[in-house]
């Protein structure tokens, strides 16, 4: 379950905090925006889009320095920001590895070592079948799985696709073979060729095939429908009690004052209203159902627990 504040509640929370009085001088220094992955990837793109909007609309009236500190599936960059505890002049963007890397590696940080600001985009998954499969609903897929062997493909052995597939199987009371496939392109080929019955895929990987009428998306794994594909129902609304998405958001180091956290919440609420941010969501097939402040922290805690449970079930972690 996601924790989403209504507009009135957010406004009340913000006005109840004396941001202007407590932080009249903020910001008074440049911001160090650390990207925990290399140039050109999804985390890098989101981070630079966010910083570009902050600059374009003068939402942060000091310089912003952007630095890639990649390595260790995000471990290097996130560790660096974690060590800036208490400083309101460092920030970073979250992703699936923000939760997964501490679960499978020996890091000196977890999500709990950071100050949550906002979930800005949800990177969730579709359950997809071929349009000529004869399956038009999740219930029909479940019936097929109960009647015989079905094979579900996804990229990677322990990534979000595997997590969604496992959570779905548990919620539906079914079993199927999960086949890890190397890349998004290979995933599409596996379904086109009929070597798998269905795939769990990022919307960006299958949007072209869906638009062409070759694939059919049966369900979306987020708690709410995608803002880009509102016609695709969620698993939960179809009676399968789970949701899972990767958190593309922003965090500060731990120990930052609540007034600073609230300042950033208010600032990022302006970011998500811009046409540039809406274009980013649409172009990258991401859902824009933001979650703010402490509610984002609760979401990170819940999603990390779900991730850990599935990784233990499949033997990817102890």
| Alpha helices for the chain (secondary structure H) | 7-16, 19-22, 42-56, 75-82, 96-104, 138-147, 160-172, 184-193, 203-211, 258-271, 275-283, 293-313
pLDDT of 152-187, one tens digit each?
998 877 778 888 999 999 999 999 999 988 777 888
Biggest CA–CA distance in the chain, Å, is 66
Domains and CATH numbers, the chain: 7-122+244-313 (3.40.190.150), 126-238 (3.40.190.10)
What's the mean pLDDT in 203-210? 89
Whether pLDDT at 22 is above 60: no
pLDDT at 19 over 50: no
Mean pLDDT of the chain: 89
Residue 109 CA: distances (Å) to CA of 11, 139, 253: 32, 41, 11
pLDDT tens for each residue of 256-276: 999 999 999 999 999 999 999
Phi first, then psi, for residue 67 (nearest 5°) are: -135, 130
Q: What is the pLDDT of residue 96?
A: 86
> How many degrees, rounded to 5, is the angle at CA 295 between CA 289 and CA 297?
110
Q: What is the pLDDT of residue 144?
A: 95
Q: Coil, helix or strand for 222?
A: coil
Per cent of the chain over pLDDT 90 is 68
Contact call for residues 127 and 218 (beta carbons, < 8 A): yes
Residues 6 or more apart whose Cβ sits within 8 Å of residue 125: 160, 161, 164, 200, 201, 202, 203, 220, 221, 244, 245
Using pLDDT thresholds of 50, 70 and 90, give the confidence band for residue 284. Answer: confident
């Amino acid at each position: 379950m996601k924790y989403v504040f209504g507009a009135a509640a957010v406004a009340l929370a913000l006005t109840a905090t004396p941001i202007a009085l407590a932080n009249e001088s903020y910001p008074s220094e440049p911001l160090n925006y650390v990207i925990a992955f290399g140039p050109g990837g999804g985390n890098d793109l989101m981070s630079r889009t966010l910083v570009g909007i902050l600059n374009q609309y003068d939402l942060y009236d000091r310089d912003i320095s952007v630095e890639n500190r990649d390595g260790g599936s995000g471990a290097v960059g996130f560790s660096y920001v974690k060590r800036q505890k208490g400083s309101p002049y460092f920030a970073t963007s979250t992703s699936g590895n923000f939760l997964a890397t501490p679960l499978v590696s020996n890091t000196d940080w977890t999500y709990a070592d950071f100050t949550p600001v906002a979930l800005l985009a949800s990177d969730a998954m579709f359950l997809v079948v071929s349009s000529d499969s004869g399956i038009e609903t999740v219930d029909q897929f479940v019936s097929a799985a109960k009647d015989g062997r079905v094979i579900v493909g996804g990229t990677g052995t322990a990534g979000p696709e595997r997590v969604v597939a496992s959570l779905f199987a548990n919620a539906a009371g079914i079993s199927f073979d999960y086949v890890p496939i190397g890349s998004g392109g290979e995933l599409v080929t596996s379904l086109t060729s009929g070597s798998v019955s269905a795939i769990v895929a990022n919307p960006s990987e299958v949007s072209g095939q869906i638009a062409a009428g070759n694939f059919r998306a049966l369900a979306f794994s987020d708690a709410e429908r995608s803002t880009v594909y509102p016609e695709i129902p969620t698993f939960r609304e179809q009676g399968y009690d789970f949701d899972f998405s990767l958190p593309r958001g922003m965090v500060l180091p731990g120990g930052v004052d609540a007034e600073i956290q609230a300042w950033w919440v208010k600032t990022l609420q302006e970011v998500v209203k811009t046409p540039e941010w809406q274009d980013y969501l649409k172009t990258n097939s991401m859902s824009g159902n933001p979650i703010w402040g402490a509610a984002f922290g609760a979401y990170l805690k819940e999603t990390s627990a779900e991730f850990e449970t599935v990784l233990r079930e499949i033997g990817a972690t102890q």
